[in-house]
Amino acid sequence: TYLAKERAVAIEAVERASKVCQSVFKRLVAEETLTKNDKSPVTVADFGAQAVVNSILEKHFPQDPIVGEEDSKDLQGDQGRALREKVVELVNTATEAPMSTDEVLRAIDRGQYAGGPKGRHWTLDPIDGTKGFLRGEQFAVCLALIIDGKVRLGVLGCPNLPYEMDKPDGERGVLMVAVEGQGAFQRRLNADSGVSETSIRVADVADTRDAVFCESVESGHTSHGDNANIAKLLNITKPSVRMDSQCKYAAIARGDANIMLRLPSSSTYVEKIWDHGAGNIIISEAGGRVGDINGNPLDFSAGRTLSANGGGVIAASAKIFDAVIQAVQTTLAQKSE
């Protein structure tokens, strides 16, 4: 079947990277008392996860370039030594064969590709949702394959997401996967062999008054005042589901929530392709829609960013998507008056 090998390899890469992140959390975050500004565990996990994913992709698809978020410059030289040693040690807990320091750095630096409209490339966000990660809440490992400017395969690893949203204290760890034309599926992230997949669909919400927002825990990415206005226009009264990272896409894809708004936080900010590639195809294959603030589909052919789009990212169940875009347009027009 179409992209069968790519699908299997991407799942393996995201599973391993998720394990890396979880072991960093157990070792560094839970044990070392962190000051609010100390991002070093995230940095270690970020680099470690990127090295693991990139080395697995290189083994199976040596010709495929990668658009990644990190490069190894903070790990170089004397200044980077302490961090570098932690990263290399971590990577070697998750790989089949041991990797030398140089191999780890080279794997990280495979993520420097510029992207574009032609051929194949992968895009990776090794830890999306750093604040969620540090709180022991939602973060995601996000991997997508772009062919000729379109996302054709996406995998999201959400290590802390409840397998069933109505059982928040139950089993955690969800992996979602979608291939163009084949639907979207979820499986247990931390299960051993013989994992079964179940098909997922967005909730069939026909009226926005029955809809639920999925919003960030903190308001850095999107402006909560605008969200409140949009909610009023759409007659939304149900409480929002709050979580960080691309796990919001996962929540909408399986019907835990119905609308995600990521409004432009400034006129200069341009969205990155690795923040949306996997979530974009998982939502569309689950029967939802994703677009910019003008309702246009996200354009992954313009390089490392979504610069060809009008800004922002909106995801929703298909039947209410147009109504949501209209409310967004009305709210943003009122602001600019």
- What lies within 8 Å, CB to CB, of 96 at 6+ separation is none
CA 204 to chain centroid, in Å, comes to: 23
| Positions marked catalytic | 46, 130
The helix (run of H) or strand (run of E) holding residue 324 is: helix 318-336
Q: How far apart are the first and last CA of the chain?
A: 52
| 305 in Cβ contact with 311 (< 8 Å) | no
Closest residue by Cα to residue 156 from 40, 318, 286, 43: 286
The structure tokens listed for 320 are: 């209410």
Burial class (CB in 10 A: 0-12, 13-18, 19+), 137: middle
Q: What are phi and psi of 168, to 5 degrees?
A: -60, -25
Neighbours of 216 (CB within 10 A): 23
CA pair distance 109, 104, nearest whole angstrom: 9
| 137 in Cβ contact with 243 (< 8 Å) | yes
The DSSP line for 250-290 is HHHHTTS--EEEE--SSSS---BGGGTHHHHHHHHHTTEEE
Q: What are phi and psi of 115, to 5 degrees?
A: 75, -165
